[in-house]
Amino acid sequence: MCSATRAFAGTKLVDPNCTLPCYQTIQSAVDAAVHQDTIVVVSGTYEEQVKVYPAAGDTNQFYISFMPDDLMAEPPQIRWSYTDTGYILCREWAGAFEIHNDRLDPSGRRCHDMRVTLKAFEVIGEDDAAALGVFNAADDPAQSYATGLFIEDNYFESEHHCDGTVVIGNKGRYADEAFGQSPKWGHFLNNEVVGNIDAVTTYHFAVTARNNRLQAGSEGWHLGAGRIDTTAPSSVPDSLESLFEHNLFYCSGMLGLHFVHGSKGIVRNNIFSRNQEEGALVSHALYLGEPPTPSDPMCAVDSTECFAPAVNGTVVPTEVVAHNNVIDITDGNGLRVHELCIATLYANTITRSGTQTAEQPAFEVVGPNPGTQPLLSTDYELLWANDLDYADSILVGANDINDDTPGGSNPRYQGVIPDGSGVAKYSYMLKTISNPVCGYAAAANDSKAIDQGPPGTAYADSSSPPGVGLTTCDIGAYGGKHNIWDPTGVDLCLEYVEAVGNCNLGQ
């Protein structure tokens, strides 16, 4: 192990009303923690900043977990306030809960294999503080210091941290930081994140993001360099790519999901709903963006959004497969792709995009030469009730479905759920004229999304419900091989419907 004089690993209880051997603050328990400790926290409000570092002497391994003492009680709440005078340090270490694995922080520690589990907490950053911040140095081109993050069942909220509510990694404002900073990997499951700027901002984090609800004033999730280079240490499993599935991206003022800067992975079976901006600005739902190279013209607009060339001076492209997503009510593009992104797209529904102006088509490619798309493959998309479906005819798939007929041809699914609560809730289940699906009343007409995706068993619905009709792939978030939203596989009709509402935009 890392040290010959180890304290015994075990459970450390945090209870403000306890006496020794308990701990009255979370930070005091962290300061005493050793490899493989679990910090168990009693329900209550903890007005403190928590900073997690590897234990002294742990240069090889340091694993630590944070859990409530009672999963049935109200979750422990961590609150911390920070005021940034002038926003000079707004990306620095200013989170209510911070995880550090670097040599630049005050502890001067870092570890080759650090892993942190955070489960079932409420973390709130007040004023200019983020809720969760994960930081590492940018001097690790050998990728030898890895941080595993296992973030589950939490609620995160912040008021105005300029990089987001959850900030993981360093933004590319330093040379070669996209792939020079230490790698981060793990999962982000069943969390709700609310922020006035970005909900989640991550850099060099290969993540499995599943069953999250994300709402933000700017971007729901900004994924930069969301892959791990092959030089990563052996402690990192085969998590070289990022996966987004069964998430709800809603009510964001700029972008739902920004998949960008050399990220690689899959975006499937997500719902993008009511991503809109008030006033003259517009929001886009899913943006598959540019690679990390200063030669891209977008860097001339904002150099902070661009990275230096990656390893050996080569450009690492953004690569993504995006399928079976529902994109509904967007005042800008529903689906926006950069011309240098290597993208494979199929079985997505894009409905009611360009709600503020006909100059914003549902599907658009941006960049210096958007009329040629050698890196893009698209087919079997369903576009309905958009002001304009395509920015260019080259984007039209041979098997796309385009229909502006009102009423029964609407692929948007069931609409408002009258559950008696008095709060508007929205369902995205497929319409059906036969047996009701998942308890929803039968609709007058079929959705044209049913059985209209790519043919063959490789694309077929894995379960019915939520699939409808035959086993042929249904277009949208409840079709295809990954159409079951419940992570346990038990509730075939699970969906994220609460509090979507109308984003206070009067629609």
Q: Which residue has the higher pLDDT, 404 or 253?
A: 253
Cα dist. 504→128, 312, 499 in Å?
Answer: 24, 48, 11
Tell me how far apart the alpha carbons of residues 243 and 189 are, in angstroms, rounded to a whole number: 11
pLDDT for 92 = 53
| DSSP strand pairing (192-195 vs 113-119) | unpaired
Give the confidence band of 275 by pLDDT, cuts at 50, 70, 90: confident
Query: With 60 as the cut, is the pLDDT of residue 412 above it?
Result: no
pLDDT score of 167 more than 50: yes
pLDDT value of position 209 = 97
> What gap in Å lies between CA 503 and CA 250, rounded to an integer?
8
More confident residue, 229 or 437: 229
Q: Which helix (H) or strand (E) holds 81?
A: strand 77-82
pLDDT for 105: 61
Residue of higher predicted confidence among 95 and 106? 95
CATH level 2 (architecture), domain 44-408: 3 Solenoid (2.160)
- Distance (Å, whole) CA 440 – CA 461: 19
Taking alpha carbons only, the member of 150, 153, 236 closest to residue 186 is: 150
Alpha helices in 145-278 (DSSP H): 177-180
Statement: residue 93 has pLDDT above 80: no
Whole-number Å distance between alpha carbons of 286 and 223:
12
Least Cα distance to 258 among 221, 306, 226 occurs for 221
- Most confident option among 114-123, 309-318, 363-372: 114-123
Q: Which of 260, 339, 342 is nearest to 307 (CA)?
A: 260
Q: Could you give phi then psi for residue 31, rounded to 5 degrees?
A: -60, -25
Mean pLDDT of 285-313: 56
Rounded to a whole number of angstroms, the CA Rg of the chain reads 23
The mean pLDDT value of the chain amounts to 79
The pLDDT score that the predictor gives to residue 345 is 97
Phi, psi (deg, nearest 5) at residue 176? 55, 30
Specify the pLDDT at position 346: 98
Residue with tokens 């809730």: 425
Copy the structure tokens of residue 48.
């403190």
Region for residue 367 given its phi and psi (left: phi exceeds 0; alpha: psi -120 to 50; beta: otherwise): left
Distance of CA 181 to the CA centre of its chain: 20
Does 330 have pLDDT greater than 60?
A: yes
- Specify which residues 14 forms β-bridges with: 23, 41
Q: Which residue has the tokens 């977008």?
A: 298
Domain boundaries, the chain: 44-408
Selection from 368, 340, 344, 364 nearest residue 354 by Cα: 364
Q: What pLDDT digit, counting tens, does each position of 438-490 carry?
A: 555 555 456 778 899 999 999 999 988 788 788 999 999 889 999 888 777 77
Q: Give the lowest-confidence range in 113-117, 240-244, 277-281, 485-489.
A: 277-281
pLDDT over 80 (residue 498): no
What pLDDT is recorded for position 422?
53
The mean per-residue pLDDT over the stretch 290-299 comes to 54
Residue 308: what pLDDT? Answer: 41
Q: What per-residue confidence (pLDDT) applies to 430?
A: 55
Sequence-separated (6 or more) residues with CB below 8 Å from residue 353 = 285, 327, 329, 330, 331, 332, 333, 334, 360, 361, 362, 386, 387
* 102 has a pLDDT exceeding 80: no
Model confidence band, residue 62 (pLDDT cutoffs 50, 70, 90): very high
Contacts of 268 by beta carbon, 8 Å cutoff, 6+ apart: 243, 244, 245, 321, 322, 323, 324, 325, 480, 482
How far is Cα 149 from Cα 114, in angstroms, rounded to an integer? 9
Say which range, 25-29, 198-202, 219-223, 261-265, has the weakest mean pLDDT: 261-265
**Residue 404: its pLDDT value, please?**
67
Which is more confident, 275 or 371? Answer: 275
Q: Choose the weakest-confidence range: 283-287, 368-372, 414-418.
A: 414-418
CA dihedral defined by 396, 398, 400, 402, rounded to 10 degrees?
Answer: 70
Question: Torsion angle of alpha carbons 128, 133, 139, 144, nearest 10°?
Answer: 180
Choice among 109-113, 256-260, 305-309, 417-421 with the minimum mean pLDDT: 305-309
Phi-psi region of 393 (alpha: psi -120 to 50; beta: other; left: phi over 0): alpha
Q: Which of 81-95, 194-208, 312-326 has the highest mean pLDDT?
A: 194-208
- Nearest in space to 307 (alpha carbons), one of 334, 328, 332, 289: 289
- For residues 281-287, give the mean pLDDT: 88
Q: How far is Cα 354 from Cα 350, in angstroms, rounded to an integer?
A: 11
pLDDT at position 329 is: 83
pLDDT at 238 exceeding the cut of 90? no
Average pLDDT over residues 489-494: 69
The per-residue pLDDT for 427 is 55
pLDDT of 358: 58
What is the spatial distance between Cα 397 and Cα 497, in angstroms, rounded to a whole number?
A: 31
The average pLDDT across 499-507 equals: 39
Mean pLDDT, range 298-323, rounded to an integer: 60
Q: What is the dihedral of CA 188, 192, 198, 203, to 10 degrees?
A: -10
